[in-house]
């Protein structure tokens, strides 16, 4: 496998065949480039504006996506490709090399907040993370109709493994998105709030893409079950949306018909830390709870004799996520309870 270093304008994402690139975006500090690994397969049935792209390491301390996509690089055979498949195991090399959520060594920007107006175009938004967003918008969105963005909690939170998406107004697109999400096989599929500015999935949805995200692990580790879900979900999306030959069978909770659809849309789903402290969970993620039920305790060890603050569920539903690292900051979402839809 020969991987070519190329600036974005020199990428060939359209001709038949397989090509492996290091996409070179100019570095702001060293005399050189940030290098983003990108592999593209183009088959004989490719259509203009159609294809699948999947990203790993939107956040640099989440590793299930990079591992799953690196595995698929060695599994997908060109003779099996019908349309267009683009895999990017590490979309944010600055954050990935640092092992941080944001592009800490460079501009300190969170890529999953960087898809804003003027990203990579206006002088105030022209550092590397915003230029990655501009690259995705200019070179990838016009060539794909399916977008898979693999996340896994990092150090922020431990989740019940899930695939996720936003509500969209188009009922046909909404049905395609939900069906694509189910094929990951996770115990939970989540509809989540869409008010945060600059999300990659929101930008893809705004361009009419079938868009699915995930949370498949936590703690800057690699969850083998999460990698399995990711590899299966990406392959299923490629087959079911006409980009890869073959058939595929459901796995895990999808196969068993036991997936739960959960919403975490309104603010009542989120319990916020009222002071800096240390979080002690009293249960795992996944169980059902009632509004007001104590799920964890927030300790203030500077006031050792003060009783812990009870962390209560804000709604009836399912424990979706809890703070993973014990030290938490005031204002941090330390508990998320989703309303069970079905």
Of all residues in the chain, what percent carry a pLDDT higher than 70?
Answer: 100
Band (174; pLDDT cuts 50, 70, 90): very high
* Residue 139 φ then ψ, to 5°: -105, -25
* Arithmetic mean of pLDDT over the chain: 97
Whether residue 342 has pLDDT greater than 80: no
Whether residue 49 has pLDDT greater than 70: yes
How far apart, in whole angstroms, are the C-alpha atoms of residue 24 and residue 304?
52
Q: Per the confidence metrics, is the pTM higher than 0.75?
A: yes
Band (1; pLDDT cuts 50, 70, 90): low
**DSSP secondary structure, 47-112, as one string:** -TT--EEEE--SSTT--HHHHHHHHHHTT--GGGB-SEEEEES-S-HHHHHHTSSS-TTTT---GG
Kindly state the helix (H) or strand (E) to which residue 32 belongs, with its residue range: none
Band (293; pLDDT cuts 50, 70, 90): very high
How far apart, in whole angstroms, are the C-alpha atoms of residue 115 and residue 202?
9
Mean pLDDT, residues 18-23 taken together: 98
Q: Find the length of the chain.
A: 342
Whether residue 27 has pLDDT greater than 80: yes
- Give the tens place of pLDDT for each residue, 184-229: 999 999 999 888 899 999 999 999 999 999 999 999 999 999 999 9
Mean pLDDT, residues 268-275 taken together: 98
What are the sequence ranges of the domains in the chain? Answer: 3-264, 267-340
- Give the tens place of pLDDT for each residue, 55-73: 999 999 999 999 999 999 9
How far apart, in whole angstroms, are the C-alpha atoms of residue 141 and residue 198?
15
Q: Which fold has domain 3-264?
A: Aminopeptidase (3.40.630)
For domain 267-340, which architecture applies?
Beta Barrel (2.40)
Which 8-state DSSP code applies to residue 308?
A: P
- Give the tens place of pLDDT for each residue, 126-152: 999 999 999 999 999 999 999 999 999
């Amino acid at each position: 496998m020969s991987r070519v270093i190329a600036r974005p304008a020199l990428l060939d994402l359209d001709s038949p065949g397989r090509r492996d690139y290091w996409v070179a975006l100019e570095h702001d500090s060293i005399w050189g480039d940030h290098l983003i690994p990108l592999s593209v397969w183009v088959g004989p049935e490719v259509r203009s504006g159609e294809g699948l792209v999947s990203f790993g390491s939107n956040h640099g301390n989440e590793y299930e996506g990079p591992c799953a996509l690196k595995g698929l690089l060695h599994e997908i055979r060109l003779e099996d490709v019908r349309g267009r498949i683009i895999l990017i195991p590490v979309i944010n090399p600055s954050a990935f090399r640092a092992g941080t959520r944001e592009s800490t060594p460079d501009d300190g920007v969170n890529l999953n907040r960087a898809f804003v107006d003027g990203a990579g175009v206006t002088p105030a938004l022209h550092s590397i993370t915003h230029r990655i967003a501009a690259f995705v918008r200019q070179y990838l969105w016009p060539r794909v109709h399916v977008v898979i963005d693999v996340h896994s909690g990092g150090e922020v939170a431990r989740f019940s493994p899930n695939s996720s998406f936003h509500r969209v107004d188009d009922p046909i697109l909404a049905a395609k998105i939900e069906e694509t999400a189910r094929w990951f096989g996770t115990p939970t599929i989540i509809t989540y709030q869409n008010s945060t500015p600059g999300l990659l999935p929101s930008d893809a949805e705004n361009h009419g893409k079938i868009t699915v995200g995930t949370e498949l692990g936590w703690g800057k580790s690699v969850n083998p079950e999460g990698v399995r879900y990711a590899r299966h979900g990406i392959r299923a999306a490629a087959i079911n949306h006409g980009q890869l030959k073959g058939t595929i069978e459901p796995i895990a909770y999808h196969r068993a018909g036991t997936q739960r659809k959960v919403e975490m849309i309104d603010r009542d789903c989120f319990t916020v830390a009222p002071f800096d402290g240390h979080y002690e969970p009293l249960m795992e993620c996944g169980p059902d709870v009632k509004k007001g039920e104590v799920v964890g305790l927030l300790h203030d060890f500077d006031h050792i004799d003060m009783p812990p603050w009870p962390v209560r569920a804000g709604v009836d539903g399912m424990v979706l996520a809890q703070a993973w690292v014990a030290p938490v900051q005031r204002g941090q979402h330390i508990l998320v309870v989703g309303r069970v839809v079905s």
